[in-house]
Amino acid sequence: MTEPNYPRGGKFLTLVAVMDTLRSPGGCPWDAQQTHRSLAEYLIEECYETVEAIETDDDAGMLEELGDLLLQIVFHARIAQDNPDRPWDIDDVAEGITDKLVRRHPHVFADTKADDAEAVVRNWTRLKAEEKGRTSALDGIPSGLPALSWAQKTLRRARESGLRMKQTSASAEAPTFEGLGEQLLGIVAAAEAHGLDAEAALRHSVRGLYRAVRDAEQ
C-alpha cells in the first residue's frame, strides 16, 4: 500500500504547542485547572454552534466554530497527557482515527470492492460491528441523544440491518423537507397546548421501538 502524502497540518502543530504552553507551569491558571468533566459543557456547546453555522450557510461562522471545536479536542488530549495512570496525547488521538479510517476503507486501502456509497456504508457497519464485538444493530447508539436524533438513528440502524419494523408514520405520503418541519412543529405545538413534554413523549416511544428491534433480532 502506498502511503499518501498530505502536506497540510503545520498550523495544527502550532495550536498543539500553544495549548501545551497554556497547560504548562507558568501558563494560564484557568486552563491548568480544567478537567474532562469541566469542559464537557463547552464541547456540547461548540458542537451545536458548529451545526448552527452549517444550517445557516454561515461559511465564516463555520470556519470559526470548527476552530473552537478543534480547540476542545486538543484541550482534552492535553489534559489526558497529564494523567498519571494512563497518559495519552493528541498523537494517540490522530493515530487512532487514522488507523480506523484506513481499516474501514478497505475499498481504498485494500482489495475490497465497493461500487457505490451504499456498499461503503454496509462495509463500514460490518467492520465496526466486528471490531467492537457488537451483537445488535443498536449497540453503540447513545441513549443520551436528543429524542429525534435517537429515534432516527434507531430506525436507520434497524433498516440497515434488514429488520422490518411496523410502520409508525401517520401519513403514507413522502414529506418534503419544509413540510416535515411544519408537521413536527405542529406536533410540538399540540404537546405544548396540552401541557405535554414532546421530548419525553418521543423518548418513551423510542424506548418501545428499541425493545421491538431487540426482540426482532432474536
- 131: pLDDT confidence band, cut at 50, 70 and 90? confident
Asked if residues 19 and 74 have their Cβ atoms less than 8 Å apart, the reply is yes
- The residue ranking higher by pLDDT, 217 or 14, is 14
Q: What is the pLDDT of residue 167?
A: 60
Asked if residues 23 and 79 have their Cβ atoms less than 8 Å apart, the reply is yes
Backbone angles phi, psi at 69, to 5 degrees: -70, -40
Please, which contacts does 150-157 make with residues 24 or more away whose CB atoms are closer than 8 Å?
Answer: 150/203, 150/206, 151/202, 151/205, 151/206, 151/209, 154/206, 154/209, 154/210, 154/213, 155/209, 157/213
Distance CA 95, CA 60 (A): 29
* Residue given cell 444493530 in the structure block: 137
Average the pLDDT over 175-187 and give the result: 90
Indicate the average pLDDT of the chain: 87
Q: What is the pLDDT of residue 2?
A: 54
Distance CA 74, CA 23 (A): 11
Q: Is the pLDDT of residue 4 over 90?
A: no
